[in-house]
Amino acid sequence: MELLALCWHPLWVPCTLVLSVVLWARRAAWRPAACPVDLRGKTAVVTGANSGLPLTVTPEGLSLIFATNYLGHFLLTNLLLDAMKASAPSRIVNVSSFRHQAGEANVQFLSGKEQPKNFNKAYNSTKLMNVLFTVELARRLQGTGVTVNALSPGMVHTEIMQNFSWWVRLLFHLVGILFLKSPTQGSFSTTYCAVSEEVEGISGKYFDSDCRLALPSPLARDPAVGRKLWEASEKLVGLHDGGREPASRKVA
C-alpha cells in the first residue's frame, strides 16, 4: 500500500519525467556518426547476445543460454583468429553487461550439469564469462596486432523479455519507453570499441555504456578463473588439441 501511495504522489509524474530526460541526455555522449575513422581495410569481429532463453539443454549437451550468450562467441572467435591476425591491426569486441558483477564462473553451467537458480543468475554468469574470455584471449594475443575488449551497452530496450509472461513484457516495455536506451543508442559503446581511434592499441579492457574504461569485477580479472573457463570451453566446443592453444589453430 505504501508503494501504491507513492506512485499516486503528485510529484511522482514530474520527477519521473525529469529523471527520464536526464538519463536520455546522458546516454548519447559519443555518437558513431561523428567518428572520423576510415573503415576501409579495417577488420572487427563483434560478438554479443542478450537472449531471454529458457534454462534448457541442447541435443549437443550444452546449456542453451550459455551456448548462445558465450560458447558460440568463443568458438566463432577462435575459428577466425588466423584471419584476424592476417588482417592486423584488427579488433575483437565482446558485448558483456554491467550485470556480470553478479555472475558466477561455474563451468558446470556450460553443459547444464548444474543449473543457475534462475534466469537472472544465468544471464549474469554468461556476461561474466564474456569478460573472463576477453581478458584471457587478450593475454594469448599479445604481440599479434589483434586487440580484444569487452563492454556494457547499458540498459537497452530490446526483445530480451520475449519468452517471459505478458505482464513482465508489458512492464519492461513501459519502463523501456521512459528510461532505457533504444537499440541504436545501445550500440554506441560497441561501435566505439570497434572503430574509434581512442581504443587503438588497447586490449583486455572493459568499457562501460558511456564508452569509458571501467574496472570489471574482481572475479572477472582473476587469471586462474579465466584459464579454467577457457580450458573447459575449448573441450566443450571441440577445440581441445592436446594442450596447444586455439589461438594458434589453423582455420580450415
DSSP symbols for the chain = -HHHHHHTSTTHHHHHHHHHHHHHHHTTSS-GGG-----TT--EEEE-------S-B-TTS-BHHHIIIIIHHHHHHHHHHHHHHHT-SEEEEEE--GGGGG----THHHHTSS--SSHHHHHHHHHHHHHHHHHHHHHHTTTTTEEEEEE---SB-SSTTTTS-HHHHHHHHHHHHHHSBPHHHHTHHHHHHHH-GGGTT--S-EE-TTS-EE---TGGG-HHHHHHHHHHHHHHTT---TT--GGGPPP-
Catalytic residue among 70, 123, 192, 206: 123
Q: Is 206 annotated in the active site?
A: no
Q: Give catalytic residue positions.
A: 123
